[in-house]
Amino acid sequence: MATCLRLRSCPAARLPPAPAARGLRPRCSAQPRRSAGGLAGLSAALLRTDRFVDGRWLPAAAAFPVHDPASGAELGLVADCGVPETRAAVRAAYEAFCSWRDVSAKERSSLLRKWYDLMIQNKDDLAKIITAESGKPLKEAQGEVVYAALFLEWFSEEARRIYGDVIRPPARDRRALVLKQPVGVAAVITPWNFPSAMITRKVGAALAAGCTVVVKPAEHTPFSALALAELANQAGIPPGVYNVIPCSRKKAKEVGEALCTDPLVSKISFTGSTATGKILLHHAAGSVKRVSMELGGHAPFIVFDSANVDQAVAGAMASKFRNSGQTCVCSNRFLVQRGIHDSFVKKFAEAIKTNLRVGNGFEERTTQGPLIDEKAVEKVEKHVSDAVSKGATIVTGGKRHQLGKNFFEPTLLSNVTRDMLCSHEETFGPLAPVIKFDTEEEAVAIANAAEVGLAGYFYSQDPAQIWRVAERLEVGMVGVNEGLISSVECPFGGVKQSGLGREGSKYGIDEYLELKYVCFGGL
């Protein structure tokens, strides 16, 4: 837990000197190219390109381009922050923490609510920014903005529900108190697939608890994080409480290490791949920082013989193809019992062909936008090629879409076996491999064979089976006869190598609080 009590009389004197920003030169802020994609006509106030530190928009010595994944067009140049800018942001957050921690819960609640209100007022523009930089279909982007805003609303309410305890110890002249206090500065590192919601889910909890934050957004999607900074500023969030330091892929490693090793940072919250999470854990271990991580998944989707096939297909469509399969809780392995297998595959294929339309995210009929980059497409291609070479059958799709290099056809494979790459690696794309099984025990064993355990889904009409499987699946979240499970009121997180801690719900705020025991004697 960060300690600020001794700093109040002279905060700057106790802080280590900020590192010199050698080589930094002021530059004119690069403006987004508004003619590109959906950025045309958006409010200039929301289209920010500089870093946001201590309540100010500041340039950096360098900039990096952000591209529309659908067309490849450059959307704009954004400040490319390095270690000096990172240290400066952390220092600003630390100094702000010394006062923010003492702001009343009611006032913190009010400010978060104002931020929520501004997100809702600007939801259409925020959604267009998401679609432009991530390729997500506009309707999905609009849904994400509302979902993201709801985390601010939820934690604005939870801010006033941080309760401690009074314990009666054996000694008659003592009383024991348990206090909950903010941990300090939180470094928040977020992914590109939910560029608004992954920020507010973390930042809402942190600010409600009394922490301050430094956000490093994904290099693909910095505009969303910067737009949120503008709205936080408009809402009256004090300077230094919410800071954003975008950076290029080239600098991401050094910035991540700087955040994880800075002595003024008390907490790391990361959403991303398991491999990157392990690296950040290693860096954070040196100073034993509090860490919460939502890492990779490889969700099983099990359909038992007793399932309602039509419901299972509808759930499969929602779970697999949202954001073109680029979500951490997307179903990656479809395990279908032999008696219902052929019927499920047939109806699943029909639903894919009938209901999915690949296109630019701004086109009204589009349900499947581009993948984030060509590397993502290559991984899907690799999984399809490997499966086919080992005996899988392409039921529909199976290749790049004619629209461009980042588009891939929604693909369904049958006759998939456990030795194929798609059976034991997360695809993160529009690929649905179907594995046939015979018994419940076999299905659970296949599902639990993964090293990760974020989400799992299954369809059954057998009450006893529902209880057994729900309890035996080694995942942090289970959807029973349901393909969409995320909700601000419910805890989000995984087991095994899918991460540490939980986000959202009444439990999410605990990730940013420390328990302090106070023994009051001499009574």
Question: Catalytic residue numbers?
Answer: 294, 328
| Residue 413 near residue 431 (C-beta atoms within 8 A) | yes
What does the alpha-carbon distance between residue 359 and residue 3 come to, in Å, rounded to a whole number? Answer: 52
Burial of 9 (0-12, 13-18, 19+ CB in 10 A): exposed
DSSP secondary structure string, 5-65?
GGGSSSHHHHSPPPPP-TT----PPPPP-TTSGGGTT--TTT---SEEETTEEE--S-EEE
Residue 477 belongs to what H/E stretch? strand 477-480
* Beta-carbon contacts of residue 504 (< 8 Å; ≥ 6 apart): 151, 154, 201, 487, 488, 489, 490, 491, 492
> Do the bridges between strand 411-414 and strand 431-437 make them parallel or antiparallel, or are there none, so unpaired?
parallel
Give the integer Cα–Cα distance in Å for 444 and 337: 12
Instruction: Name beta bridge partners: 414.
Output: 393
Answer whether 36's CB lies under 8 Å from 73's CB: yes
Please give the order of strands across the beta sheet that includes 513-520: 165-167, 175-182, 513-520
Closest CA to 115 of 265, 228, 280: 228
Is residue 286 within 8 A of residue 261, CB to CB? The reply is yes
Q: Which amino acid is at 113?
A: R
Q: Which amino acid is residue 135, in one-letter code?
A: G
Of 302, 353, 356, 304, residue with least CA distance to 325: 356
Please report, as a single letter, which amino acid is at residue 497. Q
Q: What is the DSSP string of 359-412?
A: --TTSTT-SB---SSHHHHHHHHHHHHHHHHTT-EEEE--SB-TT-TT-B--EE
Burial class (CB in 10 A: 0-12, 13-18, 19+), 95: buried
